[in-house]
Structure 1
Amino acid sequence: MLCPSSEQLVMGATKLTAHSWDQEYDLLVLPLLEDEQPAYILYRLDSTNNQGYEWILLAWSPEPSPVRQKMLYAATRATLKKEFGGGHIKDEIFGTTRVQTGISMGTKKQTLQGVAFPLHRDAVRALEQFREKRLTYVQLEIDFPNEMIKLSSTVPTELKDLPKRIPSDSPRYHFFLYKHNHEGRYLESTVFIYSMPGYKCSIRERMLYSSCKSPLLDTVENHLQIQITKKVEIDNGEELTSDFLYEEVHPKQHGDRQTLTKSKGPAGKRGGPQDGTSPRERWR
């Protein structure tokens, strides 16, 4: 546990573990949270990558804490990640209340492996109609009580309507039939959009939506046989301009037949970055 003090981070506490990470999370982490003291907690997982053990970074910033402490805390976060080694951090949790920092046992056991929640039959039917181009838009959401992915919307959607389909306070999965012209050819491209409005969502929502994403795409691509041209991740619907979507599907540095690219480079003016790269890296 690290606490911002004066102009540096100081060690607040350390704990030894004896069991698996999911068994001891609540016991070791939650008691460290003070009502008026921001802190960073680095919690080691049992999994490893090529750099060693993977960790969860818990950023704790309680509402009652003094403004000066909050400012100092916010200013040190990037430095902490850099010095610790960003490659070691598997997940990040941000919380202002203890409820936001809690992770259910089911989530803890599955979050780093990917959660294969089943698709509700209505969602499957809608995706099949989308594959046949009888629908232009399908929105899916997680049904938490029943642990499945259900249909949320199939309202007819054109490009100009797309930003309005993105909820501002909850995550969603979207499948959009992007109709456009490219180099004199008319194309209909399937774009998968994962919308995640940051910390407006609970930690449980963020972790489950992230964990369910890959198994969902595996089902859609390999079982329902829907060919996805591009996968993007956004924070809000305002990002979905016509120029943005066109440049995601047709990056200037690649031909229109090069798909599923990982775009890199600095962000430019939305809708028209001069170097032809995507405004942000969109898929991992």
Structure 2
Amino acid sequence: MSHQTGISASNDLQDFFARAKDGEIRCIQVKIAEEKLELGGSKDAVGSWEEDYNTMVKPYLEDKQPCYILYRLDTKNAAGYEWVFISWSPDFSQVRDKMLYAATRSTLKQNFGGGQIKEELFATAVDDCTLAGYKMHLLSQNAPAPLTMAEEELEEIKRTEIKTAGVDTKHQTLQGVAFPITDEALVKIQEFIAGQCTYVQLSLDMADEKIVLEKAEDIPTSALTGQVPSDHARYHLFNFKHTHEGDYTESFVFIYSMPGYKCSIKERMLYSSCKSPLLGVLEGQMGMEFAKKLEVDDPKELAEKNLYEEVHPMKNIVKSAFARPKGPSSRGPKRMTRNKEGQETS
């Protein structure tokens, strides 16, 4: 499902698309302007697709401005020439622009004709868009990679799940299982970062191997516990708005909820394995900073008081009591004295 922005292709762009598939045009740039998809530029083929690639694609890559690039290959399928669809979203572009372009990708594909798009490339750095970067993308798509080994281990888990149902797998994890995040989920995460909502819930589509959006809402802290499913694992992003030491504070919290053995072994393993790569995207690529990362198996752990204590743990300020030095254990031997009558007294 794509997030609907209301943006559509202009009449001029639709007319251009109808004329651009005859084999003369090699490269097309599309931009969003005045809430329309508009033609940014185009270049005719000169040599082979490999010879033309860098000289035609790189000039369209602006430092702070996202765009779409459609690049024609020399191969054909039943619908005509095959194309590469590049979504350019540089790291330093504005959050609003990133969100807008991510949410409008499917609209452009629909207007152009998805049947002719052979490969899709999402890029945030120029190196990703070069010919070498594109070929590396193809290798990662087709060649055996660490993910393939992880998938084989997961298949083994599925085959032996009945036999190992009573085995504690809490500490068994797979490394490097990085499912891609859908466009719809990315848009809502960007809205969360921009303060347009306070809560985002993500789940794993284990059939399609993607991280998908479950819900995105603006909720108070008191409603957080009611968002946690009791029968499935989830990832949660929450903006904890509160007062600390008299100052209003907003703290991003990442929550991984796993309701114990109510989930299958496969689900537990996958959620555990995908957590670190997901955090890598959120923190490394999207610039999020989390005040706290929590792992819970009971929604009650997310009560407002508990959340506050996790974000602002109490410091140990107890000081040891002053130790009075001990007096002498003995005052020495008793002295014998005589009273006026001459009698000895102690």
| TM-score, scaled relative to structure 1 | 0.53
Query: 2: CA distance between counterparts of 1:60 and 1:125?
Result: 40
Aligned equivalent of 1:218: 280
- Per mean C-alpha deviation after superposition, the further-off stretch among 193-202 and 112-121 is 112-121
Q: 1:253 to 1:119 in 2, by over 3 A?
A: same
Mapping 1:13-52, distance limit 5 Å: 30=160, 33=163
Partner of 2:166: 60
1:153 is matched with which residue? 215
CA distance in 1, matches of 2:161, 2:308: 49
Q: Aligned to 2:312, which of 242, 250, 256?
A: 250
Q: Which has the larger radius of gyration?
A: 2
Match of 1:171 among 224, 233, 236: 233
1:8 maps to which residue? none
- Aligned partner of residue 169 in structure 1, secondary structure: coil
The equivalent of 1:124 in structure 2 is 186
Specify which of 259, 267, 280 is matched with residue 205 of structure 1. Answer: 267
2:171 to 71, 87, 91: 91
Offset at 1:117?
Answer: 0.3
> How far off is 1:31 after superposition?
12
In the other structure, the counterpart of 1:188 is 250
Q: Structure 1 CA distance, aligned partners of 2:303 and 2:197? A: 21
Q: Secondary structure at the match of 2:197?
A: coil
C-alpha distance in 1 between matches for 2:229 and 2:261: 13
* SS of aligned partner of 2:224: helix
SS in 2 for 1:220: helix
| Cα distance between partner residues in 2 of 1:247 and 1:182 | 11
For the structure 1 residues 113 and 162, does the alpha-carbon distance in structure 2 shift closer, same or farther, using more than 3 Å as the test?
A: same
> Match of 1:154, SS?
strand
Q: Take 2:301 and 2:242, find their aligned partners in 1: how far apart are those partners?
A: 18
- Give the CA deviation at 1:236: 2.1
- TM-score under structure 2 normalisation? 0.44
Q: Any stretches of 5+ residues in structure 1 without a counterpart? A: 1-19, 34-57, 62-76, 78-88, 93-110, 256-273, 275-284
Deviation at 1:237, TM superposition (A): 1.2
Q: Matched residues in 2 for 1:162 and 1:195: separation?
A: 12
**1:71-119 Cα shifts (integer Å, max 9, x gaps):** xxxxxx9xxxxxxxxxxx9835xxxxxxxxxxxxxxxxxx521311000
Q: Structure 1 vs Structure 2: percent identity of aligned residues? A: 46
